[in-house]
């Protein structure tokens, strides 16, 4: 009885995975962890209440509240950090070289 040829599967070895995985910046990892812990504790109702309070303070003339509201309204979307872009570009380059 001859062995049946095994179908080709998409398997990646651990050393290949390490090469393709961008390094994690420990400071960014810590920031993400802290952000997630804050998001876990805030409900939609909490945020609505906070924004309502901020709005009322701004309407009452609180300069700090006015500045916060305007900063939130006019905030531009945040761009990924340069280190992240470099890591992704290196990953894409290395992946293309393997093909």
Please indicate, yes or no, if residue 24 is contained in any of the structural domains: no
Work out how many domains the chain is built from and give that number. Answer: 1
Please indicate, yes or no, if residue 57 is contained in any of the structural domains: yes
Quote the tokens at residue 50. 């906070």
Please indicate, yes or no, if residue 51 is contained in any of the structural domains: yes
Range of the domain at 62: 44-73
Predicted TM-score (pTM) of the model is 0.45
Q: Which run of H or of E encompasses 77?
A: none
Please indicate, yes or no, if residue 94 is contained in any of the structural domains: no
Please indicate, yes or no, if residue 68 is contained in any of the structural domains: yes
Please indicate, yes or no, if residue 85 is contained in any of the structural domains: no
pLDDT per residue rounded down to tens, the chain (99 residues)? 556 666 666 667 777 777 777 777 888 888 888 988 888 888 999 999 999 999 999 999 999 999 999 998 888 676 665 555 565 666 666 666 655
């Amino acid at each position: 009885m001859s062995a049946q040829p095994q179908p080709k599967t998409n398997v990646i070895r651990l050393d290949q995975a390490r090469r393709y995985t961008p390094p994690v910046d420990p400071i960014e990892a810590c920031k993400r962890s802290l952000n997630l812990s804050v998001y876990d504790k805030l409900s939609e109702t909490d945020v609505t209440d906070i924004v309502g309070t901020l709005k009322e303070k701004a309407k009452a003339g609180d300069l700090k509240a006015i500045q916060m509201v305007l900063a939130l309204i006019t905030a531009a979307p945040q761009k990924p950090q340069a280190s992240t872009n470099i890591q992704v570009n290196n990953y894409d380059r290395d992946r293309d070289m393997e093909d």
